[in-house]
């Protein structure tokens, strides 16, 4: 058991990541002395303005697009709102039908639900037992009133990677805008908007070692969206408001690092994740993997422990390991996540689900500690 000198091993990198030291270093100058407003035409505006444009270039390089196609936002939630509400408002004269999936983050599902309450029709496609969307179902769902398809790049809970490239062929051949929520993928796998064939793509700073409070939306040239905010015209009027220069600089640096180090980082995260999986599977019985065995983020491990409640498991391991549950207890009732429910994970398994996610800084020692703590806790809870 760890003491207070040793905080729990962090295995929740899909929730958020620590700041990379190079990101902190890059941001320092824009905390002080370069405090200026990038819109100022005097001396103090010059460095911040250049820094925002440099960051735009760094994000664009990671995503393989041109810098003007990047719009800085406050978070992935905002990018998703801007993409979905923005297309809905800009294209409502063409149609009112939107296609998405049951396993999207609430930052997509709740936006779609809001639009549904306002006259739009939303098709929420099911997924298979691995969390994969069927491309033929996408094809069958679209019609001449469909204006947007929004399918996430990789799922935050189980890590399943969707066939976005194939869905793009359908969207392109029908002239339908395609958005993907890629909050979980940069730095873990290639996120190339040309290869993916998407028109809009969401990223979030704090999932890739940049600060919270910054995100970006890739908006393919020629695709118009209605802004969520109106103001003084920053970000070409698509997202007005004085830029969060410090965080934008951090996001730019984080994207540069992700582009440089992706292959080695992904291999490291996968090695740590697989070590964690095999260690747990060898130590306790009745464990099942959720998500696709291969088409999966290299860092994500969603495990269900039969007959155990995830909340109790998290409580038991809390001093040793920080992870997330795939089920939450509300007023004595266990509610399983909408993702596990959509995948049809049986309840006696689903309610005992832990989401473990490794990162750039995860060590072998971390994994050994986590395996020991989780295996001990599972045995203890099963013996009660
Ligand atoms: C896939 C996905 N989309 C959107 C979000 C929302 O990100 P934020 O809370 O930074 O807006 C998250 C965060 O967990 C996510 O994993």
Could you read off the pLDDT of 155-185 as tens digits, one per residue?
A: 999 999 999 999 999 999 999 999 999 999 9
Q: Do 233 and 270 have their domain in common?
A: no
Ligand 1 mutation target, pool 80, 105, 339, most atoms within 8 A of CB: 105
Task: Return the minimum-mean-pLDDT range out of 40-49, 246-255, 320-329.
Answer: 320-329
Q: Is residue 170 part of a domain?
A: yes
The reported pLDDT for the residue numbered 333 is 75
Give catalytic status of residue 329 as yes or no.
yes
Q: Is residue 281 part of a domain?
A: yes
270 CA to centre of ligand 1 in angstroms: 21
Final residue before a domain boundary, out of 225, 259, 293: 259
What is the per-residue burial (b if ≥16 Cβ within 10 Å, else e) of 106-143?
ebbbebbeebeeeebebbbbebeebbbbebeebeebbe
- The pTM for the full model equals 0.97
259 CA to centre of ligand 1 in angstroms: 21
Q: Which two tokens stand for residue 367?
A: 């994994």
Could you read off the pLDDT of 261-289 as tens digits, one per residue?
A: 999 999 999 999 999 999 999 999 999 99
CATH of the domain at 294: 3.90.1150.10
Q: What is the C-alpha separation between 153 and 297, in angstroms, rounded?
A: 10
The reported pLDDT for the residue numbered 328 is 74
Over 70: is that where the pLDDT of 4 sits?
A: no
Q: Is residue 113 part of a domain?
A: yes
Q: Do 110 and 34 have their domain in common?
A: yes
Q: How many domains does the structure of the chain reveal?
A: 2
Q: Do 278 and 160 have their domain in common?
A: no
Final residue before a domain boundary, out of 228, 259, 290: 259
Q: Is residue 134 part of a domain?
A: yes
- Give me the catalytic one of 75, 124, 255, 329: 329
Contact residues of ligand 1, CB 6 A cut-off? 75-77, 105, 107, 152, 156, 181, 183-184, 204, 206
Q: Is residue 72 part of a domain?
A: yes
Q: Is residue 108 part of a domain?
A: yes
Ligand 1 mutation target, pool 204, 228, 302, 338, most atoms within 8 A of CB: 204
Q: Do 36 and 13 have their domain in common?
A: no
The reported pLDDT for the residue numbered 3 is 53
183 CA to centre of ligand 1 in angstroms: 6
What is the per-residue burial (b if ≥16 Cβ within 10 Å, else e) of 303-341?
bbbbebbbebbbebbeebbbbbbbbeeeeeebebbebbb
Rounded average pLDDT over 243-249: 98
Report the atom number in ligand 1 closest to the C-alpha of 77.
11
Rounded average pLDDT over 67-74: 98
Q: Do 268 and 209 have their domain in common?
A: no
Q: Do 375 and 312 have their domain in common?
A: yes
Q: Whose CA is nearest to atom 14 of ligand 1?
A: 15
Q: Residue 365: which domain range?
A: 9-17+261-383
Could you read off the pLDDT of 26-37 as tens digits, one per residue?
A: 999 999 999 999
Final residue before a domain boundary, out of 259, 287, 319: 259
């Amino acid at each position: 058991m760890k003491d207070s000198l040793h905080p729990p091993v962090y295995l929740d990198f899909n929730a958020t990541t620590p700041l990379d030291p190079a990101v902190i270093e890059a941001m320092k100058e824009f905390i002080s002395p370069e405090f200026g407003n990038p819109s100022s035409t005097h001396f103090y505006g010059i460095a911040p303005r250049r820094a925002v444009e440099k960051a735009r270039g760094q994000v664009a390089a990671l995503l393989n697009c041109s810098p003007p196609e990047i719009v800085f936002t406050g978070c992935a939630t905002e990018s998703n709102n801007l993409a979905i509400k923005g297309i809905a408002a800009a294209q409502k004269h063409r149609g009112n039908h939107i296609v998405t999936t049951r396993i999207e983050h609430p930052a997509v599902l709740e936006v779609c639900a809001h639009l549904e309450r306002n006259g739009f029709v939303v098709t929420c496609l099911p997924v298979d037992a691995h969390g994969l969307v069927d491309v033929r179902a996408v094809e069958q769902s679209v019609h001449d009133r469909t204006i947007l398809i929004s399918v996430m790049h990789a799922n935050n809970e189980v890590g399943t990677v969707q066939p976005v490239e194939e869905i793009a062929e359908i969207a392109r051949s029908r002239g339908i805008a395609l958005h993907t929520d890629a909050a979980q993928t940069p730095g873990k796998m290639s996120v190339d908007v040309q290869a993916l064939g998407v028109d809009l793509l969401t990223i979030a700073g704090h999932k890739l070692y940049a600060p919270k409070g910054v995100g970006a939306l890739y908006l393919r040239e020629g695709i118009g969206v209605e802004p969520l905010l109106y103001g003084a015209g920053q970000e070409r009027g698509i997202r007005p408001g004085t830029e969060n220069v410090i965080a934008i600089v951090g996001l730019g640096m984080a994207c540069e690092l992700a582009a440089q180090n992706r292959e080695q980082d992904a291999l490291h995260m996968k090695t740590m994740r697989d070590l964690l999986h095999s260690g747990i599977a060898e130590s306790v019985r009745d464990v099942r993997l959720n998500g696709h065995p291969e088409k999966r983020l290299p860092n994500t491990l969603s495990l269900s422990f039969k007959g155990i409640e995830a909340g109790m498991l998290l409580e038991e391991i809390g001093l040793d390991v920080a992870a997330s549950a795939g089920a939450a207890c509300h007023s004595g009732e266990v509610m399983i996540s909408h993702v596990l429910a959509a995948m049809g994970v049986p309840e006696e398994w689903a309610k005992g689900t832990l989401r473990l996610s490794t990162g750039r800084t995860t060590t072998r020692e971390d994994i050994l500690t986590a395996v020991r703590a989780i295996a001990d806790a599972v045995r203890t809870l099963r013996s009660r």
